Amino acid sequence: MTKVLHTARYTGLPLEILQKACPDGFIVKTLDEATQEQLVKEVADADYFLVSGRLPIDKAVLDHAPKLKMIQRTGVGTEMLDLEEIRKRGIPVYVNAGVNARSVAEHTLTLMLAALKRLPQINVQTHSGVWKKQQQGVTTHELYGKTVGLIGMGNIGRLVAAMLQPFGAKVLYTDVFRQKEEVEANLGLTYCDSFEALLPQCDILSFHCPLTKENTEMLNKQTLAMMKEKGIVVNTARGKLINPDDLYEALKSGHVKAAALDTHYEEPVKENYKLAELDNVVLTPHIGGLSYEAFASMMQEAMNNIHAFEEGRLEEIEPKRLK
């Protein structure tokens, strides 16, 4: 049997979905423990890596994987991959570009609305029997007429922009690549040539870019100070795009009105996570791209790629391969 090693730990329904996607003639093994030591122990007879989670695929892992033919990501992030070491060995890497973009975009819009409508706070109050209709209602805000700044205009960014159109929001964006004029016109986009130029204009700032060395902690004390007073920060991209201590201080001071975060600087978050202390912060556990539909598609497409690679026909289905 051809072994696919899943480099994280799934149980319950996620594991059932993964196993169901496994093609005939293959066996998929998930880790008994999500530790680096367990990963190194399991790689010796692995033909393929199905990479999810945050365990590093580094030299120590690769040195123990003599049979490895290909690495397939369940999603698109590659920060857990030592790409230089992988390239040295000539091991191809494929990602699942766009497979969960709609799920992330919907979650982004949900977080925007949750922050504007103060849903977590009002939900708790209502569950507790607090009924202050007018007093609670006038603390909420509409998305209509707000200026939303999108950092990154890839698959997810374009879907978020499209979803914002019926709400009557003005959408600004910045990206290393500018969209074509017809795309900007169709989505109602206004381009900003820098992150700093976009910040003072936004009621809502939303991140949709990959994490790089250059943009790590791009939202920090200095750039937070450039934000429009009482703005909202939304992040469904990568947690390390934001300095959490600086964001905490901006929220405490009231300069930033609220934050809604699906991704976090450290995952899973620790017990002393300062942002969790604040009632103007909405937190979810990096689930934006993991709706049932998106998760099932991610597993199926990843396994389809591995199956096609094994049969020598992967390029026929035009997967996204990293250079």
> What pLDDT, in 10s, does the model give residues 251-303?
999 999 999 999 999 999 999 999 999 999 999 999 999 999 999 999 999 99
The pLDDT value recorded for residue 319 is 61
pLDDT (average), residues 170-192: 98
Residues recognised as catalytic: 238, 267, 286
In this predicted structure, the answer to whether residue 73 has a pLDDT above a threshold of 90 is yes
How far, rounded to the nearest angstrom, does the alpha carbon of residue 247 sit from its chain's CA centroid? 19
Q: For residue 182, what are its two tokens?
A: 């017809």
Give the H or E element holding residue 225.
helix 221-226
Q: What average pLDDT is seen over the chain?
A: 95
The Cα-based distances of 159 to 129, 150, 188, 200 in angstroms read: 38, 11, 12, 24
In this predicted structure, the answer to whether residue 192 has a pLDDT above a threshold of 60 is yes
The pLDDT value recorded for residue 318 is 62
Domains and CATH numbers, the chain: 2-97+291-321 (3.40.50.720), 101-283 (3.40.50.720)
- Residue-wise pLDDT tens digits, 115-160: 999 999 999 999 999 999 999 999 999 999 999 999 999 999 999 9
The pLDDT value recorded for residue 98 is 87
The pLDDT value recorded for residue 52 is 94
Give every strand in the sheet of 70-73, ordered side by side.
26-30, 2-6, 48-51, 70-73, 93-95, 320-321
Single pTM value for the model: 0.91
The pLDDT value recorded for residue 308 is 94
Closest CA to 204 of 272, 139, 145, 278: 145
Give the H or E element holding residue 195.
helix 195-198
